Structure 1
């Protein structure tokens, strides 16, 4: 019997949990950035993600736990390379440099711009559907970011804020490219991204004269990287599969609030009127994103692809013999015409008038 799932599940919880883990990275990285060169710290964070996820894969194989995800194919390699460069090399380096020049709380809230950049690129470049509530939410987030950078002389985007904004743009590009890879195994993608980006950043930092920090600092950085970069990235990739880039980026906007809260609690940073006002505006923006509902009559055109799935309303094909669920194989979708709430996931990429 076919099973039907809510359009909110599991994409929204995956995106929110990813945001929670990533949101913790800015204040913890701020605590480490004083004793580690920025590029070296970026490398350690991503290397921790790659090594940690590689150990997870090794443990999965040793325990005989079956892998139900689709493998990476040769045609995925150019996209994977671009994802590693944008999201693994350029963006984390810009973030570390920015955190050196601004407070952790402000840096955390400015990371809201990643969701905005992701949404704009998805809307303008990749023609993903964006409705009124998403636009209103984005405007509220932008207003919060403007207030956050306001000084007595007017709006002032200092060097640290500009570097963090540039990092968000690079991650916005990364997120949209990652959406096209989201059908494949996210653990493998995140492992490759972590190992490649981490190794490259560490090598470049050492060549430029940086020295490795004490063992305790190195261990702390890799642990933060495993959770806040590695596990968060796997969850984010899974959310992309269910929500599309624009909406995953919108839900991911919760991350800066988590970061700001941890910054105030751990680093004793001052709670200013600007911070509270910006946080309230960004909360309104997030509320618009969370309360969006998209439903209309739509047509699924015949298509063939590969990804992990169960036999729900969108997967009605036969198998030779008994199979367990979920499973992954190349399968074909017949034309389907129906109505239900949905997001632009890997099965709902139709155009809107």
Structure 2
């Protein structure tokens, strides 16, 4: 049994798809922001993500689509609580506090720190493998994102800037902790996160005097949230499963460029030297990552876990009867040693000398 898929598949398309959907949500949210309080809009977006994914999660049996994903287990609950706290509650709260005390130019530029925080935490704390090629590629993507956000004004790290930096740190922690849950059902995780974060932001916004918009505007915000946050988050978590946090975070940093391109179409913004230069930098970073070949002899220790899988070189166990693929169940990996191209996915989080 051999897996003939490229090591780029399906992790890279999933990470890029996540960036495209999230990037598209920015200009679409801007269309709604003139009619909806920003904090209330954040709640609507997350509630749209949570309720939409709840319909997908609970509607699977009704459409004959059984889940092949592993379900959350009791030992996952502390990680899930931390993900919701950092990514769904503290991050948005710090962002709102920051945006209220700093300029839009500084705020948009500082938000790019999320990608940097994700990569640094993954490399330094969780010891994901990184080489010079990956560092240069990640630096080019981040430089493009920062250039795209730069308005020519001086960047001041005032109190508002510190709050936004704290928000990015929270989301960087969130992205890395989510990796701990990447073997479980991403729809279930994103659903819970969306519902909890959405309810929190929605209630807080109303308690501070935000006015309820029309049903049509709420529906539009919910659709944007379902696709731009909910589906994007599911794809991001699947990307984590295959690529690890550092590389998924790097690809996700392309989101501002996607938003800028859509802004050109929706708002008829001019195609500037700034946008072209940012695109070239991000394109260079993307090429460096896509052309990476991490290939060496490595050993797998014995491990037992549960996740969706097919029978490939890493899954050689047997079943008592015929099974469909992919499927999910508790299984054991026997020790093995081999050589092939790989990313730091569920089965390749080994150390390097």
Q: Conserved in 2, the CA contact under 8 Å of 1:40 and 1:205?
A: yes
Unaligned residue ranges in structure 1 (runs of 5+): none
Closer, same or farther: CA 347–88 of 1 in aligned 2, 3 Å: same
Unaligned residue ranges in structure 2 (runs of 5+): none
Q: Conserved in 2, the CA contact under 8 Å of 1:51 and 1:195?
A: yes
Corresponding position of 2:308: 308
Corresponding position of 2:104: 102
Secondary structure of 2:235 counterpart:
helix
Q: Conserved in 2, the CA contact under 8 Å of 1:111 and 1:168?
A: yes
Q: Conserved in 2, the CA contact under 8 Å of 1:45 and 1:226?
A: yes
What is the TM-score with the length of structure 2 in the denominator?
0.91
Secondary structure of 2:219 counterpart:
helix
Partners of 2:284 and 2:259 in 1: CA distance: 17
Secondary structure of 2:252 counterpart:
helix
Corresponding position of 2:120: 120
Note if 1:58 corresponds to 2:58.
yes
Corresponding position of 2:83: 83
What is the TM-score with the length of structure 1 in the denominator?
0.91
Deviations 1:117-146 (A, max 9, x none): 211110011111112112112322443455
Closer, same or farther: CA 319–151 of 1 in aligned 2, 3 Å: closer
Secondary structure of 1:24 counterpart:
helix
How much has 1:154 moved relative to structure 2?
A: 5.3
How much has 1:349 moved relative to structure 2?
A: 0.6
CA-based RMSD: 2.6
Secondary structure of 1:298 counterpart:
strand
Closer, same or farther: CA 288–94 of 1 in aligned 2, 3 Å: farther
Corresponding position of 1:299: 299
How much has 1:159 moved relative to structure 2?
A: 8.0
Q: Conserved in 1, the CA contact under 8 Å of 2:145 and 2:254?
A: no
Partners of 2:261 and 2:94 in 1: CA distance: 22
How much has 1:148 moved relative to structure 2?
A: 5.0
Corresponding position of 2:243: 243
Q: Conserved in 2, the CA contact under 8 Å of 1:253 and 1:286?
A: no
How much has 1:173 moved relative to structure 2?
A: 1.2
Closer, same or farther: CA 283–92 of 1 in aligned 2, 3 Å: farther
Note if 1:213 corresponds to 2:213.
yes
Closer, same or farther: CA 247–146 of 1 in aligned 2, 3 Å: closer
Q: Conserved in 2, the CA contact under 8 Å of 1:149 and 1:155?
A: no
Q: Conserved in 2, the CA contact under 8 Å of 1:119 and 1:246?
A: yes
Deviations 1:303-352 (A, max 9, x none): 11111111100001111222211111111111110000000001001001
How much has 1:99 moved relative to structure 2?
A: 7.1
Q: Conserved in 2, the CA contact under 8 Å of 1:112 and 1:255?
A: no
Q: Any runs of at least 4 consecutive aligned residues in structure 1 with deviations exceeding 4 A, and if so which?
A: 93-101, 109-112, 145-166
Partners of 2:326 and 2:209 in 1: CA distance: 49
Closer, same or farther: CA 29–99 of 1 in aligned 2, 3 Å: farther
How much has 1:91 moved relative to structure 2?
A: 2.9
Where does 1:49-198 land on structure 2 (aligned, <5 Å)? 49-94=49-94, 101-102=103-104, 107=108, 112-144=112-144, 147-148=147-148, 155-156=155-156, 165-198=165-198
Closer, same or farther: CA 151–209 of 1 in aligned 2, 3 Å: closer
Q: Conserved in 1, the CA contact under 8 Å of 2:105 and 2:153?
A: no
Deviates more, 1:335-344 or 1:146-155: 146-155
Partners of 2:305 and 2:194 in 1: CA distance: 26
Corresponding position of 2:8: 8
Q: Conserved in 2, the CA contact under 8 Å of 1:42 and 1:96?
A: no
Partners of 2:185 and 2:160 in 1: CA distance: 35
Partners of 2:11 and 2:215 in 1: CA distance: 37
Deviations 1:215-273 (A, max 9, x none): 12111110000000111111111111111111111122221111111122212334444
Q: Conserved in 2, the CA contact under 8 Å of 1:146 and 1:155?
A: no
Corresponding position of 1:287: 287
How much has 1:162 moved relative to structure 2?
A: 6.5
Q: Conserved in 2, the CA contact under 8 Å of 1:112 and 1:141?
A: no
